Structures are given as structure tokens and as C-alpha cells.
Amino acid sequence: MPQQYRIEATRLFTQIAQAHRGWAVASCGNILSSALLTGMGLYFLGVPGALAFGLIAGFGELVPNVGPLLAALPAVVITLLAEPEKTVYVIGVLILIQTVQSYTLSPLMLRFSVQLPVLVTIIAAIVFGTLFGFLGILVSIPFVADLVVTWNYLNSRREQDTTDYDSANSTPTGQREAIPATGPHAL
């Protein structure tokens, strides 16, 4: 990297590293909270293999938006086969846990990370999953976060350039004189 750009590159890479740390902390927190809540909820309902289903639900949080739904399916299917009378309760507990997770815990944890709109995460997961498979789904959110950090950084640099231009070229002071009208329409 040329020496004149090293400081700016270091600033950009520091911001990207902060976004990655935030994403990692938020992901670990989401995994842990989802695993604990699901495992405990299913355990209290008496579902066989509740702790294993809790772990599956926790790791389902790694795949944005659709992961929790896919991770809930084994618990529902096994409960439907083993103890059909508890299936409605299991579905209710899973919906309650996902609602609590989605609207309270995840946003609190994701404030350490780059805020990405839900539609962006869905599209990123679909595109990266289609192109690169499961590994693409796992890296889609950090990669899009990198793009957002880079975009914000470049915009802040562009705004700084505009501010520098405005301060160097101040607006004229005082009243401007009117230009006299000439030609056939002059009064």
C-alpha cells in the first residue's frame, strides 16, 4: 500500500474489524440465548431430547432469518411422532421463544454490530447461499457488513471533501448589485 494511503487504510480496516467483533459477539450471544431458552422451554414441557433441540436451535441462529425456523422443525417433528398431544405446546413455546429472541435479545446484542435491514440480510443469504452453499450463508452477513462499513467510510470521506471545499471557498458577503437589464425588454 502506498505510504500516503496507509493511515486511511488503517482507519477503514479498524472499522471493519470492529464490525466483525460486533457481529461475532452478537452471534455468540444469539446462539447461547436461543439454545438456553429453547432447551429450557422444551425441557419444562417434557420433550425428549430437549437439550439437543436447544443446541440445534442455537446453531440455527447462525443462518439469518430462516435458520431458527429450520432449527425448530426437528423438535416439532419428533414431538409429533413421540408425544402428539404436546405438539401444540411445543409450537407455542418455539414461537414465544423466537418472538422474544427476535424483538428483544437479538436487537440488544446486534447494537454492537453494523445494523443491516432484514431485507438485505435475506437477499445476502439467498445470493451467497446460491453461489457458495452453506459456507456462503455463514459469511454473507459479515461480508455485507464489510460493504456497509466501506460505503459509510467512503461517504464520510466525500462529505469531508465537500466540507473542505466549502471552508476554502466561502460564500460572498454583503449585498450583490443587480445587473442592469439591456435589450428590447428592458424597462
**Rounded to two decimals, what is the model's pTM?**
0.69
| In-domain check, residue 182 | no
Task: Flag whether 172 is in a domain.
Answer: no
Q: What is the pLDDT of residues 6-38, one digit of tens each?
A: 888 898 899 889 888 888 888 888 899 999 999
Per the structure, the complete domain to which residue 96 belongs is given by: 8-163
Domain-embedded: residue 170:
no
Contact 87, 98 (CB under 8 A): no
pLDDT tens, residue by residue, 66-121: 888 899 999 999 999 999 999 999 999 999 998 888 778 877 776 667 777 778 87
The three-point CA angle 56-122-75 to 5° equals 20
Q: Structurally, how many domains does the chain consist of?
A: 1
Q: What are 168's three cell numbers?
A: 476554502
In a domain, residue 168? The reply is: no
Q: Is residue 186 part of a domain?
A: no
Q: List helix spans (H) across the chain.
A: 6-45, 50-60, 67-82, 87-100, 106-110, 118-132, 134-168
